[in-house]
Structure 1
Amino acid sequence: MRIIIEYESSWRNSFLDGSNNENLPKNGRNFIGSMTALKTDGNYKSQKVTKNTVMGILNRLIGDQRKLYQARNEPNYYFKEIEATLNESDIKDTAVLDQEMIFLRNVSGSTDQNAFTGMIKANDSAFKSIYSSDLWGVLWMSLNEVIDFILNESSQVNEVENLDPIIVCDQIEVLSSEKPIDAVEHIQDVLDFLQVKFPDINYLTAKKQLPLVSLYTSALYLQIERLAMKYDLSNILTKSGGLSGISKRGFTKKDFMKRYTTGEQKLIWGNPYLLKQKKKGEGEIVSILTKASGQLEINLNISKEQARDLENKIENAGVSSFYLGKKGLAYVTDIR
């Protein structure tokens, strides 16, 4: 038996982790199509027509709208014998592939990591108090100065004028953009000191390097301890005793600016499905959504009686069109 299916604009990428052919996790499958998630290896997932795809189509054509794994678990699963004889060689997918930029709509209520709303509280006490210059001035130290500051409690901080949330935010972003440094000589001494001081913090990257921003943000927390011996800092710290949006390892702009603006965090309404990667010898590789249009031919090695029964079930179900994979339009053009 041969079933021929024409299809158009079938999406050939997956935006969720896990597999559609397994039981759903308790909290569902995670969305991995965001700009941030796509940077993680393996989250840009290309798909093609497989045996599972075909079995899903056949179940859909006879009116079974359950997930494939659910149908397979039934003791009277209609395609049990047919599936056992179906091979990948029995499936012929003739497709024309196109690349297309799409915008994925986000309705989950996620917030933008690098944006904020409302007016800026430039006169917040964190930036206009007698100790503000001593606190934030740590961020403007040179590398040698911050090393000395961390290891030497008597080290002084140079005065910084005209502080406000944007100026501080911009400086931390500059530090965050710097490349990690090797833990050698004095850097190793500082790292050893910080690991004893903050034992719950894992400072090193997978390449055993220290992000420069972690050096400065940890220095901020050391300065908080030192200044707290002379000043009351309770009105600028969070309930846990930290700085909003700043950890000992780094910085989150949206959380930092939320404390110093009058508005709520800015919602994300979607993002382009786009991954940029730099590969040695190839330069920058841009990956976007793949769409396929073409013909799918399914050859089933079954008896005439089975073929007639399957054809009757398909005709009785009356499925006019369906998705092949994700999105697009697919329909049966011939059954032989």
Structure 2
Amino acid sequence: MTTLGKRDNQGNYPNFIKREITHDTVMGVLNRLIGDQRKLYQSRNCPKYFFSDLEEHISFNDQQNQSEPINTETVYIRNMEGNTDQNSFSGMIKDNHPTFSSNYSREFWGVLWLSLEDLIVFFRNQSFKFELPDAIDINLASVLERSLYLRDVKPITCDEIILRVIDILKNEFPDEEYVEFEKVKPIRLYSAALYIQLARLNHKYDMKTACNQRGAKSYVFGYSKRGFNGMRDFMKNFITGGEKPIWGNPYQLKERRKGEGEVVSLLTKANGTLDILLSIPEDKAQQLKEMIEAAGVSSFYLGKKGLAYVDVIR
């Protein structure tokens, strides 16, 4: 779903695929009709595969019903493993959390309001101190708004000064990477600064309420050592109802076409008849018919959303 609208090098959408009836489709149907519910490759690998010597004699004719329009519908892809919305949450907001109202709050979260020049001095000088303007109020809303703003600031080119800062960060966090294509996103520097400030203030304040404690490790709310994890990861720490579950997303492709504007493509289902032609010996044909009748399959899935049934056996 997350890559549904992304094009490949040929300008196509590799995750929005038109499926056609193929020989494998037909063989899957025939195996299903005789009661074999294994995957087709598993059936083919079985020494007693019924159609092992018959597949080359089986063909088909796909007759889509032109008198009836192709059915277009909005289909939801179901999430059954506890997926949550990246930008939503549920419950009441705990705006009085200690991380925003303690004696360390302005020194800790205030790092996010440093200019890039001051941030560089912060990294290079362990005794660097700053005073936030009185107009800046440290609370949940202001920290979230500032975090989202910094996340969207464009990458900057790594000059000599920035490279020195990167060397400092490599010593602090050797497992993290900050540079991509000779540029660095400012949010990565600010994220690292929060963790460095957390360590510095630990000598002055009790910082247990400033972040999540997992064993001996501390994690700044919503932040890793190289980035802001988004609204969901931040807000889930300050609400009563937890993250908002996602039960499904619409399977639709939105694209802008020249001269047409925004075009929405939905899942389509074709109507029609699939004739399966078997040029096989009469005894095998009779055996196959008896196996189909014995299995008693009334209707079955064809494709992701299709439903099919046997109309007649001649």
- In 2, the alpha carbon distance for the partners of 1:187 and 1:92 equals 66
Counterpart check, 1:77 vs 2:49: yes
Counterpart check, 1:93 vs 2:83: no
Counterpart check, 1:324 vs 2:285: no
| 1:82 alignment partner AA | L
Q: Summarize the Cα distance change of 1:174–1:43 in structure 2 as closer, same or farther, 3 Å threshold.
A: farther
Q: Summarize the Cα distance change of 1:73–1:188 in structure 2 as closer, same or farther, 3 Å threshold.
A: same
- In 2, the alpha carbon distance for the partners of 1:187 and 1:285 equals 44
Q: Summarize the Cα distance change of 1:185–1:288 in structure 2 as closer, same or farther, 3 Å threshold.
A: farther
Counterpart check, 1:159 vs 2:132: yes
Secondary structure in structure 2 of the residue aligned to 1:232:
coil
Structure 1 gap segments, 5+ residues each: 1-32
- In 1, the alpha carbon distance for the partners of 2:46 and 2:306 equals 29
Which has the larger Rg? 2
Q: Summarize the Cα distance change of 1:78–1:182 in structure 2 as closer, same or farther, 3 Å threshold.
A: farther
* TM-score, with structure 2 as normaliser: 0.80
2:177 match? 202
- In 2, the alpha carbon distance for the partners of 1:81 and 1:62 equals 16
- In 2, the alpha carbon distance for the partners of 1:164 and 1:251 equals 17
Counterpart check, 1:44 vs 2:15: yes
Identity %: 47
- Whether contact under 8 Å (1:61, 1:317) holds in the other structure is yes
Give how far 1:283 is off: 8.8
- Whether contact under 8 Å (1:237, 1:243) holds in the other structure is yes
- Equivalent residue for 2:188, pick from 214, 218, 222: 214
- Whether contact under 8 Å (1:322, 1:331) holds in the other structure is yes
Residue-pair matches, total:
298
- In 2, the alpha carbon distance for the partners of 1:53 and 1:45 equals 19
- In 2, the alpha carbon distance for the partners of 1:131 and 1:115 equals 29
CA RMSD of aligned residues (A): 3.2
Matches within 5 A, 1:20-31: none
- Whether contact under 8 Å (2:194, 2:220) holds in the other structure is no
- In 2, the alpha carbon distance for the partners of 1:274 and 1:156 equals 52
Structure 2 gap segments, 5+ residues each: none
Give how far 1:199 is off: 0.7
Task: Compare 296-305 and 50-59 and name the one that shifted more.
Answer: 296-305
Q: Summarize the Cα distance change of 1:251–1:314 in structure 2 as closer, same or farther, 3 Å threshold.
A: same
Q: Summarize the Cα distance change of 1:242–1:319 in structure 2 as closer, same or farther, 3 Å threshold.
A: closer
2:158 match? 183
- Equivalent residue for 2:271, pick from 293, 297, 300: 293
1:29 match? none
Task: Compare 164-173 and 297-306 and name the one that shifted more.
Answer: 297-306
- In 1, the alpha carbon distance for the partners of 2:257 and 2:169 equals 35
Give how far 1:254 is off: 2.5
- In 2, the alpha carbon distance for the partners of 1:273 and 1:227 equals 48
Give how far 1:266 is off: 2.0
Counterpart check, 1:120 vs 2:118: no
- Whether contact under 8 Å (1:44, 1:275) holds in the other structure is no
Give how far 1:275 is off: 4.5
Counterpart check, 1:236 vs 2:207: no
Structure holding more strand per residue: 2
* TM-score, with structure 1 as normaliser: 0.75
Matches within 5 A, 1:135-174: 135-159=108-132, 161-174=136-149
Counterpart check, 1:302 vs 2:302: no
- In 2, the alpha carbon distance for the partners of 1:219 and 1:278 equals 40
- In 2, the alpha carbon distance for the partners of 1:106 and 1:265 equals 15
